[in-house]
Amino acid sequence: MKQTAAMWKKTVFCLLGLIGMVILLAATTAVFFLALEWSEPDAAQAASSASPAQAAQSSLNTWEFTGQLEDWRLLLVNNTISMPKDKMPDLETVGIIQVDRRIVDDLQAMLKTASGDGVELTLSSGYRSEERQEELFQKAVEDNRFLGMNLEMAEAVAAESVARAGHSEHNTGLAIDFNGVLETFDETPEYRWLQRHAYEYGFVLRYPQEKSELTGIRFEPWHFRYVGQEHAEKMRLLNLCLEEYVTYLTAQQNHS
């Protein structure tokens, strides 16, 4: 009798132990899957509150221009804003191009480091006069006319790839086209080097793919613009193109 009672006790303990283990296993599995499910929204939430770029951009779905900023490095010229007549740059020749002489030291330092890293950057285009820009535009219009377009159409299509006189950033002397202006430049080590290091010398990719609606210009991997190191770093951090950055700084000035 005693023996049977002891056996029963043993069996009950074993059963209880087994049930306990099953419950523990189920609980662990449930916690694991719940954690998995929660981890994604949590990460997204953390990113939105932590990223200064998203904070800056949420207020910048568009851009607004109320006048050139005092800083010469932030001169803004695009399809709607023309080159101010009184900002004609003082030019200096580097290789086969001319640029604003104030950017020459940074440009040469960048070329030198790139070369040391085994990357050969060549200068294809720098400063362009308004006359030269108009020639380029008219040439594009003629080409389109030759293809059978009427004048209005030919000019509209030309404007998609060539700026009108006074509306090219090359009029500022602060823009540079690298390595032969090739559509495939973004597949080269030179482009990848610029993506990583250009900002250290004050240059930014001026017409990024994802900003073409704001800049009014399609992706141009070869075209870089000097804005100075401090601004280049900030633009990179906040992920802003020049139109957005000028809008952002103007808003900040107005608030202070």
User: In this structure, are residues 60 and 241 in contact, taking their beta carbons and an 8 Å threshold?
Assistant: no
List the catalytic residue out of 190, 220, 243, 244: 220
Q: Provide CB contacts within 8 A for 233, sequence distance 6+.
A: 199
Under the binding rule (CB under 5 A), the answer on residue 211 touching Zn ion is no
Whether 64 sits among the annotated catalytic residues: the reply is no
How far is CA 242 from each of CA 55, 79, 137, 247, 256, rounded to the nearest angstrom? 17, 13, 23, 8, 21
Residue 66 tokens read as 């109320």
User: In this structure, are residues 125 and 96 in contact, taking their beta carbons and an 8 Å threshold?
Assistant: no
Stretch that binds Zn ion, among 4-12, 15-23, 24-32, 220-228 (CB under 5 A): 220-228
Under the binding rule (CB under 5 A), the answer on residue 223 touching Zn ion is yes
Nearest distance from C-beta of residue 220 to Zn ion, angstroms: 6
Q: Provide CB contacts within 8 A for 81, sequence distance 6+.
A: 65, 167
Under the binding rule (CB under 5 A), the answer on residue 167 touching Zn ion is no
**Nearest residue to Zn ion on Cβ basis:** 223
Q: Provide CB contacts within 8 A for 12, sequence distance 6+.
A: none
Size of the site for Zn ion (CB under 5 A): 2
Helix (H) or strand (E) holding 91: strand 91-94
Nearest distance from C-beta of residue 178 to Zn ion, angstroms: 9
Query: Would you say 20 or 180 has its CB closer to Zn ion?
Result: 180
The residue from 177, 190, 243, 244 that contacts Zn ion (CB under 5 A) is 177
Query: Would you say 154 or 217 has its CB closer to Zn ion?
Result: 217
How far is CA 164 from each of CA 29, 48, 129, 180, rounded to the nearest angstrom? 65, 40, 11, 21
Nearest distance from C-beta of residue 195 to Zn ion, angstroms: 17
Stretch that binds Zn ion, among 11-19, 41-49, 51-59, 216-224 (CB under 5 A): 216-224
What amino acid positions are annotated as catalytic residues? 220
Which residue ranges make up the site for Zn ion (CB under 5 A)? 177, 223
